[in-house]
Every structure is written in structure tokens, then in C-alpha cells.
Structure 1
Amino acid sequence: MLTKALKARQARLQGEKGFTLIELLAVIVILGIIAVIAIPLIGNIIDNSKEDSDVATARQLYDAARLYVIGEKAGDFANTTTVSLSDLTTSNYIEDTIALPSTKKPITDATVTFDADGQLQSVSITPAPQGSDDGEYTANEVLQVDTTTTAPATPSN
């Protein structure tokens, strides 16, 4: 009885050798819908990561400039409000050739600006990084300060 059922099943499947055109078209349509949704999302992720890497480069310039003022100018931020890329490279606080991660173009000029108290004001980079119109980053952008959050309330007794 089992052999008879197996033979009957084999006879039915013998003519079926692949997928129908409708099944293949359905799969292609589903893959197309997934691609339409996924490709813009992946593009945004890539753009955001490039912009974040450029901000990280600005942070490196800030850190190097801060070390430069402390090491070369005895921490006198009052008389050293700007530090240029040439100051950092000639004093070996940063490599001679530094490039933007987003565009792979070498940075030709950069300026880090502090106030008299040594607080960062801005970092300016030339050529302008991707996602920046003028190549200037504020202190909040470089230091990743989130100004939208508030301090937690102190518990009352």
C-alpha cells in the first residue's frame, strides 16, 4: 500500500520541474519593494556616518589645539584665542597630512577658536566637510553637547 502511494505521488510530480512564471514575478516584485525601502535608508546611514566622522576629525583638532596651548603657551588661553593647523603640525601635535574621512580630501586649513577662559568656541575646517556649508563647527557640535535635555530634578525630602 505504501509503495502504491509513493508511485502515485511520483507520477503526479513527474511533470512539475520548476517554478511558474507567476511565482517568479511575485518574488521579483517582493524584492523590488524591499529594495525601494532599504536603499534610501542605507544611503542615509552612510551619509550620517560620514558627517559623524568629520565631526570626530574636528574633535581631534580641538583636542590637539588644547594640548598645544597647554604645552606651548603655558595654558594661556587669554592670549591664545586661535590655533591654526600650521601651529599644530609644526609643533607635532598633529600629522602633517590629515584628511577628511567623508571626502578623503586633505585638510588645507583649520582654525580652532577659544574664548579667554579656554572654552571652545568653534572649529573651522577647509575644505568644507560633507554636511557642512561653511566648514565651521560650533562647540556643541564638536563636543556633542545635547542642549535639549535638562538636568534631573533633585529629589525633595
Structure 2
Amino acid sequence: MKKFLQKKLKEQKGMTLIELLAVIVIIAIIAAIAIPAIGNIIENSRVGTMKSDNLNAIAAAELYILDYPEATTVTLDNLVGTTAAPAVYLDDKGSLTAFTYTKASKTVVSTAKQGTMNFTIATPGATKTQINNYVNSSRAAANNITASKTP
């Protein structure tokens, strides 16, 4: 068997230039399809991370309000324990750069950053449902929630 394989291998010359070019063209076509798809997956995961961080901060703010009923607004500093409140409601800021929760209207004003993506809840009135329903793409804005890429 070994001699048979050695004999067959000696008879083989290798790939022709046309075969090599055909393989390169096929790989290029596959790459042209796959690279944009991978880019969208990364963008969607960044927006998903920022949405999740906002929802976690809202839940933490609601717990903070239960512990401190006299508080009217909750900021990011209140939640991570960097102000007078001794309790820590969030382990870290995550992608959030600014966060304010208003008790009376249960509204959020927030900014998050993940890589080159920004996620902004610019006007008061954003609810958990609106944040959850936001499509994980910067191309689709809903209500008062926007996501954008920075150069």
C-alpha cells in the first residue's frame, strides 16, 4: 500500500494556475458575502449590550428608590456607590456614560458607549418596553431612542 501511494504521488504534478485562480475567486466571493454579515453581527451585539445595560440600570434605580423613598432622581453615581449612598446597586457602569432616572414620571435620560457605537435616550419618557423594542441596529430608530456610530 505504501509503495502504491508513493508511486501515485510521484505521478502528480500539482495544481495548475487556472485551478489556483478558481480557488482564489471562490474564496473572494465567500469573503465578500461574509464580511458585511459579520459587521452587522458585531453592531447588533454592541447595541444589545447597551440596551441591556440601560435595562439593568433602570431595575437598579427602581430598587434604589425603594430603599431611599425620599430620593426624586437617581444618577449613575448613586447606583455604583460613588456618592453618599453606601449600597451598591450596580457592580460597574458597563457601557453607560450618563444615566438619570426620575421617580415621579419613571423616565430615563441615558447615554451609553460601546466601541464606536453610541446609544442615547435623549428625551425623558423612555420606558423599559421602548428600550426593549428598539431594533438592534443603528439604522432603525424608534421613539426617542437612537443609536449612532462615531468616527
Query: Which interval holds the TM-score relative to the shorter structure?
Result: 0.5 to 0.7
1:112 to 1:20, Cα distance in 2 relative to 1, 3 A? same
Q: Which structure carries more strand by proportion? A: 2
Q: Please say which structure displays the higher CA radius of gyration.
A: 1
Alpha-carbon contact 2:50-2:113 (below 8 Å) kept: no
Instruction: Provide the identity percentage.
Output: 36
Could you say what the CA RMSD is over the residues aligned between the two structures, in angstroms? 2.9
> What TM-score does the superposition give when structure 2 sets the normalisation length?
0.64
Instruction: Map 1:84-99 onto structure 2 (within 5 A).
Output: 84-88=75-79, 89=81, 90=85, 91-95=87-91, 97-99=92-94
| Cα distance in 1 between the residues matched to 2:102 and 2:27 | 51
Query: Do structure 1's residue 121 and structure 2's residue 117 form an aligned pair?
Result: no
Q: Distance in 2 between matches of 1:67 and 1:87?
A: 11
Structure 2 unaligned regions, length at least 5: 135-151
1:72-91 pair list within 5 angstroms: 72-73=68-69, 80=72, 82-88=73-79, 89=81, 90=85, 91=87
CA distance in 1, matches of 2:22, 2:97: 53
Distance change (3 Å), C-alpha of 1:114 and 1:128: farther
Could you state the TM-score of these two structures normalised by the residue count of structure 1? 0.62
CA contact (8 A) 2:99 2:108 kept: no
Question: In 2 relative to 1, CA 38–145 (structure 1 residues): closer, same or farther, beyond 3 Å?
Answer: closer
User: 1 CA distance for matches of 2:113 and 2:42?
Assistant: 18
Counterpart in the other structure of 2:98: 109
Deviations 1:5-64 (A, max 9, x none): xx9xx69x8543211111111010000000000000000001100110011000111010
Q: CA deviation at 1:71?
A: 1.6
